[in-house]
């Protein structure tokens, strides 16, 4: 769906974030401000850690491991 806005600079954008994007420092680095939101879930996914090798990303987040979403596989 395309959404045309009269004032795109003041638009409200909804995002689903987990892991690093929930971190205040990461929000400031990526969005220039702290975000507000409410807890939610993503059924069928779990979280896992991944090692970060990019020194710029580590510097911005302060973390060498970030959380990722991983689709759960039914057995």
Domain ranges of the chain: 13-71
| pLDDT tens digits along 6-40 | 666 767 777 777 777 888 888 888 888 888 888 78
CB-count burial class (<10 Å; 0-12, 13-18, 19+) for 26: buried
How far apart are the C-alpha atoms of 24 and 45, rounded to whole Å?
23
49-72 pLDDT tens trace: 999 999 988 888 888 998 888 888
- Residue 63 burial (CB < 10 Å; 0-12/13-18/19+)? middle
Distance CA 30, CA 2 (A): 24
Q: How far apart are CA 75 and CA 69, in angstroms?
A: 19
Question: What's the pTM value of the predicted model, to 2 decimals?
Answer: 0.58
């Amino acid at each position: 769906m395309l959404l045309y806005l009269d004032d795109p600079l003041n638009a409200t954008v909804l995002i689903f974030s987990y892991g690093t994007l929930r971190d205040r420092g990461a929000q400031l680095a990526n969005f220039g401000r702290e975000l507000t939101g409410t807890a939610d879930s993503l059924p069928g996914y779990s979280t896992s850690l991944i090692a970060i090798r990019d020194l710029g990303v580590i510097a911005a987040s302060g973390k060498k491991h970030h959380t990722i979403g991983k689709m759960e596989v039914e057995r």
